Chain A
Amino acid sequence: MTAVPDIEFRGVTKRYGAVTAVTGIDLSVPPSAFVALLGPSGCGKTTCLRMIGGFEQPSEGQVFIRGQDMAGTPPYRRPVNMVFQQYALFPHLDVEDNVAYGLCQARPRLASREIARRAGEALEMVRLAGYGRRKIHELSGGQQQRVALARALVNKPAVLLLDEPLAALDKKLRTDMQIELQNLQREIGITFVLVTHDQEEALSMSDFVCVMNGGRIVQLGQPSEIYDEPADLFVADFVGKTNLLSGTVAGHSGDLVEVVLADGTVIAARKRTALQKGEAVSVSLRPESLSLGAPESAPFKGIVRNRIFLGSTAEYAIEVQGIGTLLAKADHVIGHGNLFKPGEPVAIGFAKGTPLAFPETKNNGTNQRVTNHVEIIS
């Protein structure tokens, strides 16, 4: 006998006219979990969140909140609250009245002293005590975000829904808020459902990540599982940075497959599904799994084209004849002088079994044959 899940989707499909937004979603969120719905725009993650909030009704299937079928229950009767994208704070109310809005809707009415007390507590929780009489437009983006949080938490919902809550914040503030949200979730112990297209945000904050693509759930797991054992090519490419190399299955050796790459190199790779000999595959190699300056036996030799120094690590874009550009990431040890320079030839190796082979699928939408996200992070 397991605990009743806080949120449960059973065979949920949502159509808008001829367009199907999500298809056959089955999802069960255990109590007190921090779950991220992750996916590119248009993958249906926001639709799922809105079906929990009650702003959309499923075309098929059911949504349960704490075991209650929510069919036909309007948003104002659901025990969930949402932090909206760009916050949707009421511009005509000050900070305290925004936070107290939910309390003022309670029937029978709460005493005004009780409302003021609880609104004050909520503001204190998000470290905005003393800001109660400020106007919304007088607050910074980060402060508005915290008002939105306080407003959503003041009614003590069973589940807090967060729709891209950090998208409007700058990078530094976003990192702070990630930690703050994580702490807040542990402190109050209710389930958080976060919608984001930012894989870093999903991996760093949540207990479970639900990766969505094309209206379906592609993989559900802990962040490390999603990153280390992606279910398919889409997840491997979308979550984290990776090198995708095209090749053909040449044979099997034990649990591994041997893949012939475009330049004739044969590498051994793990697989997630059965692969036929001669099948076209994409092999995913994480940048940090590549070791540079390895001995002569290294499978690839290339020339460093770009170096992106990040402090604790350095990323290299390395051109390999016949393969393309590979992204590699190496730890930087102070004083070790282990940085390669652009133009320098370098051998690239990797531990046996680190590559992951996936069948080439035709409808991978966002995938290119060889994807290298060389992204400069300041």
Chain B
Amino acid sequence: MHGNRFRHNFLTALLLAPATAWLVVFLVLPFIAIAVFSVGERAPEGGYQAAFTLAQYANLPARATAFWNTMLLAPVGALACLLVAYPVAYYLALRAPQRWRLILLALVVIPFWTSLLMRTYAWMYILGGRGIPALLALVGIEDVRLINTPGAVLLGIVYGYLPLMILPIYVSLERLDRRLLEASADLGATPLSTFLGVTLKLSLPGVMTGFSLVMILLLGEYLIPTLLGGGKVFFIGNALVDLFLQSRNWPFGSAIAITLVAVSVVVLIAANRISTRVSGARRVDLI
């Protein structure tokens, strides 16, 4: 008996070892390093110098604008994504003919196979002076400015993150027991009340998963705002690139990164709480 259990445990440990090693080397150790850096000082020639001070955290207000912009961009972007993604996921899961479903789902995912950078560059040209505005000029609508506007940034974000929002919502809608919808109709609920009272509530775990996934990624996003927004508005992502690569103020960059992680964790927990309460599900699946 004991021998067996030992062998079983050993096997489990063996199977988990690569993943554990990976996480320790590439996630836990860097995270500890960042945490240590964040209470250190900038060396005179840039980089990190050992110290114990909360000065970096006290200095956070210096980047308040970047924080504020990010805190605005992330939820607004995630919300825009959600509003576009939900009808698509709903159609795919509940309305699309069975034999088309996989093909349509593949079409959602395929853009992912090309780098986001390339696709965002493509949008730069589409929205830029020689793109849509040039076409509009042909039909007499002159001086339309699309690129370097907040609208362009939002468009890029929705386009880039849409699959991440569609997939979890699709999964939770696909898993929805169709008989619950029939039961609701049978009990006198109109299609709208059925949607609000059953479909939406039971798909909330997927909505929350997609929302937090996109929102967390948007907290670190800087590429799309830089390319489509003209780089005039700064986000935490820009601040991090600047602090780590240009001004080489590693401790301050670390303090910002830690704060960002803390905010992400709070967002995740809140999303989990909300969807658990409303849908009655006991857990939230990440996809």
Q: Which residues of A contact B (CB under 8 A)?
A: 53-55, 74-77, 80-82, 84-86, 88-93, 101-102, 105-106, 135, 151-152, 155
Residues of chain B contacted by A88 (CB below 8 angstroms): 177, 179-180, 182-183
Q: Classify the secondary structure of B's interface with A.
A: helix
Considering the complex, give the chain B residue whose CB is closest to the CB of A79.
Answer: B188
Cα distance A75–B187 in the bound complex, in angstroms:
8
Q: In the complex, what's the smallest C-beta–C-beta distance from A375 to chain B, in angstroms?
A: 31
Q: In the complex, what's the smallest C-beta–C-beta distance from B160 to chain A, in angstroms?
A: 32
Residues 183-203 of chain B, each 1 if its beta carbon lies under 8 Å from chain A, else 0:
111111110010001100110
Considering the complex, give the chain B residue whose CB is closest to the CB of A151.
Answer: B187
Q: In the complex, what's the smallest C-beta–C-beta distance from B194 to chain A, in angstroms?
A: 8
Q: What 5 A-B pairs have minimum CB-CB distances, sorted nearest first?
A: A92-B280, A102-B187, A105-B188, A88-B179, A75-B185
Q: Which residues of B contact A (CB under 8 A)?
A: 177, 179-180, 182-190, 193, 197-198, 201-202, 278-281
26 A-B pairs with CB atoms under 8 Å apart are A53-B182, A54-B185, A55-B186, A74-B185, A75-B182, A75-B186, A76-B185, A76-B186, A76-B187, A76-B188, A77-B188, A84-B186, A90-B184, A90-B198, A91-B280, A91-B281, A92-B279, A92-B280, A101-B184, A101-B187, A101-B189, A101-B197, A102-B187, A105-B188, A105-B189, A152-B186
Cα distance A53–B185 in the bound complex, in angstroms:
10
With known contacts A92-B202, A105-B189, A105-B193, A82–B183 Cβ distance under 8 A: yes
Residues of chain B contacted by A84 (CB below 8 angstroms): 179, 182-183, 186
Considering the complex, give the chain A residue whose CB is closest to the CB of B202.
Answer: A92
Contact A92 B187 (CB under 8 A): no
Q: In the complex, what's the smallest C-beta–C-beta distance from A46 to chain B, in angstroms?
A: 12
19 more contacts with CB within 8 A, not counting A91-B281, A105-B187, A152-B186, are A74-B185, A75-B185, A75-B186, A77-B188, A81-B186, A82-B182, A82-B183, A84-B182, A88-B177, A88-B182, A89-B183, A90-B184, A90-B198, A92-B198, A101-B184, A102-B188, A105-B193, A151-B187, A152-B187
Considering the complex, give the chain A residue whose CB is closest to the CB of B187.
Answer: A102
Cα distance A92–B184 in the bound complex, in angstroms:
13
With known contacts A76-B190, A102-B188, A155-B188, A90–B279 Cβ distance under 8 A: no
Contact A55 B182 (CB under 8 A): yes
Residues of chain B contacted by A93 (CB below 8 angstroms): 280
- Chain B CB within 10 Å — which of A80, A82, A85 has the most? A82
Cα distance A309–B92 in the bound complex, in angstroms:
56
Q: In the complex, what's the smallest C-beta–C-beta distance from B280 to chain A, in angstroms?
A: 4
Contact B183 A90 (CB under 8 A): yes
Residues of chain B contacted by A106 (CB below 8 angstroms): 188
Cα distance A146–B8 in the bound complex, in angstroms:
44
Residues of chain B contacted by A82 (CB below 8 angstroms): 182-183, 186
Considering the complex, give the chain A residue whose CB is closest to the CB of B180.
Answer: A88
- Chain B CB within 10 Å — which of A53, A75, A102 has the most? A75
Residues of chain B contacted by A89 (CB below 8 angstroms): 183
Cα distance A89–B187 in the bound complex, in angstroms:
12
Contact B202 A53 (CB under 8 A): no
Considering the complex, give the chain A residue whose CB is closest to the CB of B198.
Answer: A90
Cα distance A93–B198 in the bound complex, in angstroms:
10
Which one of A55, A81, A85, A135 contacts B187 once the chains associate, using CB atoms below 8 Å?
Answer: A81
Cα distance A250–B124 in the bound complex, in angstroms:
93
Residues of chain A contacted by B188 (CB below 8 angstroms): 76-77, 102, 105-106, 155
Cα distance A86–B278 in the bound complex, in angstroms:
23
Residues of chain B contacted by A54 (CB below 8 angstroms): 185-186
- Chain B CB within 10 Å — which of A80, A86, A91, A93 has the most? A91
Residues of chain B contacted by A86 (CB below 8 angstroms): 179
Contact A90 B189 (CB under 8 A): no
Considering the complex, give the chain B residue whose CB is closest to the CB of A55.
Answer: B182
Cα distance A245–B182 in the bound complex, in angstroms:
46
Which one of B179, B190, B193, B201 contacts A92 once the chains associate, using CB atoms below 8 Å?
Answer: B201
Residues of chain A contacted by B186 (CB below 8 angstroms): 53-55, 75-76, 80-82, 84, 152
Residues of chain B contacted by A81 (CB below 8 angstroms): 186-187
Cα distance A152–B182 in the bound complex, in angstroms:
12
Residues of chain A contacted by B197 (CB below 8 angstroms): 101
Considering the complex, give the chain A residue whose CB is closest to the CB of B179.
Answer: A88
Q: In the complex, what's the smallest C-beta–C-beta distance from B193 to chain A, in angstroms?
A: 6
With known contacts A84-B182, A105-B193, A91–B202 Cβ distance under 8 A: yes
Considering the complex, give the chain A residue whose CB is closest to the CB of B279.
Answer: A92
Residues of chain B contacted by A135 (CB below 8 angstroms): 280
Q: In the complex, what's the smallest C-beta–C-beta distance from A136 to chain B, in angstroms?
A: 8
Considering the complex, give the chain B residue whose CB is closest to the CB of A101.
Answer: B187
Cα distance A101–B185 in the bound complex, in angstroms:
11
Considering the complex, give the chain A residue whose CB is closest to the CB of B194.
Answer: A76
Residues of chain B contacted by A151 (CB below 8 angstroms): 187
Q: In the complex, what's the smallest C-beta–C-beta distance from A284 to chain B, in angstroms?
A: 38
Q: In the complex, what's the smallest C-beta–C-beta distance from A99 to chain B, in angstroms?
A: 10
Residues of chain B contacted by A101 (CB below 8 angstroms): 184, 187, 189, 197
Q: In the complex, what's the smallest C-beta–C-beta distance from B56 to chain A, in angstroms?
A: 45
Cα distance A105–B194 in the bound complex, in angstroms:
10
Cα distance A88–B198 in the bound complex, in angstroms:
12
Residues of chain A contacted by B183 (CB below 8 angstroms): 82, 84, 88-90
Residues of chain B contacted by A92 (CB below 8 angstroms): 198, 201-202, 278-281
Contact A90 B180 (CB under 8 A): yes
